[in-house]
Each structure stands twice: as structure tokens, then as C-alpha cells.
């Protein structure tokens, strides 16, 4: 199924919305489809489908309308890239990363990278994170994605990146060479205790219609990390994260927005640029270089 989907996306790129069941197998398959170029995912129950369709009619029609507006050329580009060679972890990478975390506590706590993204973000994050070396600043991420799917998404990225990628847990430390992804259905915030950074993961009402919300993360980073942070807003529908990125910039953080040409949907970055929240506008393939300072 995924092989066929990849072939379709390469030969005739088409906006696709996945309707997936909330099962472990369904989640893994959905993540593969998103990596191959699917635009969005709508979750459905295993029973009570008729009631689900009635109650979710507005969500479904909105998702389909949004999918129709995406940059199809970018779907084609990322779909092709997803089938190419990706640097896998090996023992040398892990051995290189581990000592750096222990002996570089000061650098770890001094620099934090916060990334927010939505539609098209699964592919964009794969592009950015697979390009990072094993030793890089600690990263916290909000990707708009339903509950049950973020764990599979993090596991997939962890298998193809040199850094560690995990679904975040409450009170987990943010360390060098590791990216923490907010669990679907929960907000994630940065907090600081002495010289160390942690994440707080908790339930809460949607913010900007989303849980997790990029704004919630970015505002906490502005408060806790200030000028020691880098904020990155990437492809996505709507405006979640734009105001939080402005707060980060006002607090002295370096802030960047993905450029229009490389976005699947130039919504969130566009709003951030409009608010003067981004100090730089960077193409997708340049974001990893900004993170590493190259």
C-alpha cells in the first residue's frame, strides 16, 4: 500500500488526506504515508463510523478544503526525497553523542531550539532532523498531530536520524543531541530548574484550535530561555506559533521562518513574517545549518 502510494506521489503528486484508525498498526502506516507526502490525517473509530462521520463532517470538509490549497510541487519534491538514502544511526554516532552530553552541561542548558510546524511538517521535520549531526543543541518540537500518532512518528524519526528523537514525557530533561516531540493531545512547555531545562507535558484546552499548540511552547521558551533560544516556524496551515515566535524574538531569541518556496503550506510562516516575528527567512534545506551554527 505504502509502496503504491509513494509511486503515485512521485508520478502524479496529489493532495491526500489519510483516514486512519487509532491502532498501533494504523499509526505506523499513517506515519509512513505522511512521510511519503500525505497532507493530513483524520482519525476514525473502529466502531460507530456512521456517528463519527455525522459528528466530524465539519472537520472533514475543512481538512479536505485545506488539502486542496497545498503546494503540490513541494509534495512531489519531498515524496521523491523520502525514498532516497537517509543517514541511519550507527554505534559510532551514539558513542560520539553520549560523552558530549555529560561534559557539556553548560552548553546544553545555554542553547535550546524550539520548532513548530503543521501541514507538511512531518516531511519538513524529517528533512531538518536527518541533516543534523549527533551533537547538536537540545530540541523541543510541536507538530500538529492527533494523539496516538506522535509516538510512532518519533520512533520513525529516531530510526533514521543521528540524533535521538522521542515523544516527550512530563518532566523530561532537554539534552544535547536529542529532540523531544510533544505528544498529540497534550501541550508541551519548557521550564528551567537551575542550569537545566525540562519539559512540562500536560492536558489542556486547545489553543488556536490545536493541542499541542506551537504558541504554548514558544511562549514558554521565550520566558525560560530568552536569548539562549532559537525559534523555528515551518510549513503549516493557520497562524499557530506566529505570536509565540514574536514573543521569543522580543525576548532576544534568534527566530527564523521557512520560506514560501519550500513550504507545503505557507500559512504559519507567512503570519510570523507579517508580525515581524522572524529575524530571518530560510529555505528548508538551510534550517539545519542555522541550528548547528554553520
How much is the pLDDT for 154?
A: 96
Ranges assigned E (strand) in the chain = 17-21, 40-44, 112-117, 138-143, 164-167, 178-181, 187-193, 196-202, 229-233, 254-258, 280-282
Between CA 105 and CA 5 the distance in angstroms is: 44
Average pLDDT over residues 188-201: 95
More confident residue, 262 or 61: 262
Point out the residues that are catalytic.
118, 144, 240
Specify the range with the lowest mean pLDDT, choosing from 32-46, 70-84, 111-125, 181-195.
70-84
- Please determine, for residue 106, whether its predicted confidence score (pLDDT) is greater than 80: no
Instruction: Give the residue among 112, 142, 104, 108 at the shortest CA–CA distance from 227.
Output: 112
- Please determine, for residue 153, whether its predicted confidence score (pLDDT) is greater than 70: yes
In which band, very low, low, confident or very high, does the pLDDT at 105 lie, cut at 50, 70 and 90? very low
Q: What angle do CA 78, 82, 85 make, to 5 degrees?
A: 130
Considering the entire predicted model, what is its pTM? 0.79
pLDDT > 70: what percent of the chain? 83
Specify the range with the lowest mean pLDDT, choosing from 14-18, 124-128, 154-158, 218-222.
14-18
Q: What angle do CA 238, 241, 243 make, to 5 degrees?
A: 105
Grid cell for residue 178: 536529542
Grid cell for residue 162: 543521528
Average pLDDT over residues 75-98: 50
Q: Is the peptide bond before 29 cis (omega within 30 degrees of 0)?
A: no
Q: Indicate the SS3 state at residue 202.
A: strand
Between CA 136 and CA 179 the distance in angstroms is: 10
In which band, very low, low, confident or very high, does the pLDDT at 281 lie, cut at 50, 70 and 90? very high
* Radius of gyration (C-alpha) of the chain in whole angstroms: 18
How much is the pLDDT for 271?
A: 98
What is the CB-side half-sphere exposure of residue 236 using CA atoms within 13 A?
30
Q: What is the mean pLDDT of the chain?
A: 85
- Please determine, for residue 96, whether its predicted confidence score (pLDDT) is greater than 60: no
Alpha helices for 37-182 (secondary structure H): 49-55, 57-67, 72-82, 91-103, 105-110, 121-130, 150-160
Between CA 194 and CA 205 the distance in angstroms is: 29
Express the helix, strand and coil content of the chain in percent, nearest 5 each. 45, 20, 35
In which band, very low, low, confident or very high, does the pLDDT at 88 lie, cut at 50, 70 and 90? low
**Residue for cell digits 521550564?**
191
Grid cell for residue 273: 513574517
Query: Cβ distance 188 to 199 under 8 Å?
Result: yes
Between CA 196 and CA 83 the distance in angstroms is: 38
How much is the pLDDT for 184?
A: 95
Specify the range with the lowest mean pLDDT, choosing from 64-73, 227-236, 254-263.
64-73
Instruction: Look at the alpha carbons of 287, 248, 103, 151 in this order and tell me if their dihedral is positive or negative.
Output: negative
Amino acid at each position: 500500500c505504502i509502496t503504491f502510494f509513494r509511486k503515485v506521489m512521485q508520478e502524479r503528486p496529489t493532495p491526500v488526506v489519510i483516514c486512519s484508525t487509532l491502532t498501533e498498526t494504523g499509526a505506523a502506516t499513517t506515519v509512513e504515508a505522511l512521510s511519503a507526502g500525505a497532507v493530513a490525517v483524520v482519525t476514525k473509530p473502529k466502531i460507530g463510523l456512521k456517528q463519527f462521520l455525522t459528528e466530524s463532517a465539519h472537520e472533514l470538509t475543512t481538512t479536505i478544503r485545506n488539502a486542496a490549497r497545498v503546494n503540490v510541487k513541494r509534495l512531489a519534491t519531498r515524496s521523491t526525497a523520502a525514498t532516497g538514502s537517509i543517514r541511519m544511526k550507527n554505534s559510532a554516532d551514539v558513542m560520539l553523542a553520549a560523552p558530549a552530553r555529560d561534559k557539556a552541561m553548560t552548553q546544553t542548558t545555554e542553547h535550546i531550539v524550539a520548532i513548530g510546524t503543521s501541514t507538511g511538517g512531518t516531511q519538513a521535520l524529517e528533512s531538518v532532523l536527518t541533516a543534523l549531526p549527533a551533537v547538536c543543541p537540545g530540541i523541543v518540537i510541536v507538530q500538529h498531530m492527533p494523539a496516538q500518532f506522535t509516538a510512532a512518528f518519533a520512533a520513525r524519526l529516531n530510526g533514521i536520524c543521528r540524533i535521538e528523537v522521542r515523544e516527550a514525557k512530563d518532566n523530561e530533561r532537554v539534552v544535547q543531541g536529542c529532540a523531544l516531540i510533544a505528544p498529540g493531545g497534550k501541550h508541551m512547555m519548557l521550564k528551567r530548574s537551575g542550569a537545566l531545562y525540562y519539559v512540562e507535558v500536560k492536558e489542556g484546552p486547545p489553543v488556536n484550535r490545536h493541542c499541542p499548540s506551537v504558541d504554548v511552547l514558544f511562549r514558554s521558551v521565550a520566558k525560560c530561555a530568552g536569548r539562549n533560544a532559537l525559534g523555528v516556524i515551518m510549513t503549516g496551515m493557520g497562524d499557530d506559533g506566529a505570536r509565540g515566535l514574536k514573543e521569543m524574538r522580543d525576548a532576544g531569541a534568534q527566530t527564523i521562518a521557512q520560506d514560501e518556496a519550500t513550504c507545503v503550506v505557507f500559512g504559519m510562516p507567512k503570519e510570523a513574517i507579517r508580525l515581524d516575528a522572524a529575524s530571518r527567512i530560510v529555505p528548508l534545506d538551510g534550517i539545519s545549518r542555522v541550528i548547528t551554527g554553520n
